[in-house]
Amino acid sequence: MQKGKLYLIPTSLGSDDLASVIPAQVFKLINEIDHYIVENIKSAAKFLKLAGLKKPLKELTFYLLTKDTNPDEYSSYLDEAINGHNIGLLSEAGAPCIADPGAVIAALAHEKKIRVIPLSGPSSIIMALMASGLNGQNFAFIGYLPIDQKARREKLKELERKIRLENQSQIFIEAPHRNDKLFNEILETCSSELKLSVSKNLTMVDEFIRTETISIWKKHRTEFGKNPVIFILGK
């Protein structure tokens, strides 16, 4: 029996106007898959409906993949692929497996010799880097910086050293309710000539993308509120 495939299906970054951010291939594919690995069933169901799902949701099987999921369950999520059925892996927002727990499923699929097929779609990390004007040939995604203030400032200084030595753009994120606190700490910690790019609500009607030196940001401080934000430091 031929094995099914694991499709990495991108979702929107928040906009309900899917046609402007999701390729047509995705709209066709979702009506050919009955098994989905998702972070949240409610938001996954909303996306599938907006994307034109024709069959009733009750005919689909959802497997939850969250920080609370027992890793011993991961293997069973791919049983249907072993049995010849395709499986879709949905991110909560944007591209699966990038700053996303889905990477463990993709790795497991490779171990089981299940073909992994990534589909094109929005990735906030890549889109922010594209628009930043900072080095896109040498960059690193750090994820979250330490919560402890002293450790966080030490990490920022470490990132600054990498920027100076390697011209490596440093990309990181923060929990939305701490965006403004992190922004201000960057301004207080990093050298004035360093550049900071901030991208907020990418692909949304209120999208904000701006790259300035730290010294300019200090003169024009901005509040980003509880919105999805990507921070990039570079030179």
Residue pLDDT, tens place only, 76-121: 999 999 999 999 999 999 999 998 899 999 999 999 999 999 999 9
Q: Place 1 in a pLDDT band, splitting at 50, 70 and 90.
A: confident
- Domains in the chain, CATH or no CATH each: 6-118 (3.40.1010.10), 124-234 (3.30.950.10)
| pLDDT number for residue 171 | 98
| pLDDT number for residue 96 | 95
| pLDDT number for residue 31 | 95
Query: Is the pLDDT confidence value at 67 over 90?
Result: no
| pLDDT number for residue 26 | 95
Query: Is the pLDDT confidence value at 234 over 90?
Result: yes
Q: Place 16 in a pLDDT band, splitting at 50, 70 and 90.
A: confident
| pLDDT number for residue 153 | 96
Query: Is the pLDDT confidence value at 204 over 90?
Result: yes
What is the residue type of 12? S
Q: What is the mean pLDDT of the chain?
A: 96
| pLDDT number for residue 114 | 98
The whole-number average pLDDT for the span 62-71 is 92
Residue pLDDT, tens place only, 137-177: 999 999 999 999 999 999 999 999 999 999 999 999 999 99
